[in-house]
Each structure stands twice: as structure tokens, then as C-alpha cells.
Amino acid sequence: MKKTIRMTLAAILAVSVSACSTGNTADQAETAPSPAETAAANSETTAESTPATVEEAVQEIEEQVNSAEEWTGEGSIGDYAVVTDFLSADGVLYGKVSYVRADSSLITEEVLNDWYFNHFLTSDVNFAIIAYTDQENTGAFASNDLVITGTPITQNEQGVYAVDGSVEYTPTATYYVQDEKLVKIGG
């Protein structure tokens, strides 16, 4: 069972990474910009807003992640999220990730629904992470009609949290999207 879960997470991450160029839903894939449109948009970026080196890009992402305030249950959890680039070690942009920190006791089904539908789906990110502040290297993960809680997470070289696919585990809960709400599998 644990091996299946680890392989499933690896498949989810692969889908998330491969979807990076098109957004987080199949509907968005149909309206993805052409390579020419992407190149034109990229050429409009000023030198001031684009880090000159991978190291500068990494430093910028680390600063964004470190500036994130912890959500304490007040307001919407999405209001505390930081959206950053998700880069490979050599600076290749895989997409965008949303990151928020919160105590696991605050992460109810109501909060997960708010986070998924009002933040994740509206933020043009490829996946989202809630890093639990009371449990080391554990959190919640959202991507492509799926939310998993009790997920092992790790910080990558840029300081951004991502799912740690190398760890065997049993998730606290797994949810899928049905009729515009999250439905718990097996519950």
C-alpha cells in the first residue's frame, strides 16, 4: 500500500510538472499561448524584474517563502499564501507553486475546500502546499482535482516546499473533486 501511494504521488508530481506550461486544469490547456506568444510575453519583461542568474532567482524565491506569515485561523487561508516560481536546480522554470504555513489542527474539510476552490483554482499555480507548523516535514498537497493531507514534504534548493516522493507514508486523508466540493476517499 505504501509503495502504491509513493508511486501515485510520483505520478501526480509528474502530471503537475508536465502541466506547468498549461496551468492547473485541462480547460486551460486548450487556451495555452503559442510558443510565439510566450516568447513575445517574455521579451516584454524588463531586465529589472528578471533575476540575472539562477542564484539571484533562488534568493528571490527564498525571500518570498521566508516572508510568508503563518495562517492562524483568521480569514481565508489563501490570503496568507505565497506564490513562487518552482525551479529546477539549474534554473529551469517548472511552473508556479503556492505555499502557506499553518498548524495541522486548523486544517479542516471546510478550510481545505476554501483553500482548494478559492485559492488553488484561482491562483494560476500548478500545485499548492500547506506546510504544517506543528509537524516536521508534513503538510497538505493540492493538484489536478486531488488534495492529500498528511503528505511528507521537503524544502528544495530554493526553499520552496514540495512533496517528498522518497518517503513511504499513509496519508491522513485523500480528497477528490466532485460536484464542486472535495469528497474524502473512504470516508
Q: Quick one: pLDDT at residue 79?
A: 93
**pTM (2 decimals)?**
0.67
Closest CA to 151 of 135, 160, 163: 163
Cα 105 from Cα 91, distance rounded (Å): 36
Spell out the per-residue pLDDT of the chain, length 187, in tens. 333 333 333 334 433 433 333 344 444 334 444 443 433 343 333 333 455 676 776 677 777 766 678 999 999 999 999 888 877 767 788 888 898 999 999 999 999 999 999 999 998 899 999 999 999 889 999 998 999 999 898 876 666 677 777 777 888 899 999 999 999 997 5
Q: Quick one: pLDDT at residue 112?
A: 96
Q: Quick one: pLDDT at residue 159?
A: 65
Task: Say if residues 125 and 93 touch (Cβ distance below 8 Å).
Answer: no
User: 144: buried, middle or exposed (CB in 10 Å: 19+, 13-18, 0-12)?
Assistant: middle
Q: Quick one: pLDDT at residue 75?
A: 93
What are the boundaries of each domain within the chain?
2-184
Block residue for cell numbers 521566508? 66
Task: Say if residues 129 and 143 touch (Cβ distance below 8 Å).
Answer: no
Block residue for cell numbers 536546480? 89
Q: Which three cell numbers stand for residue 107?
A: 486544517
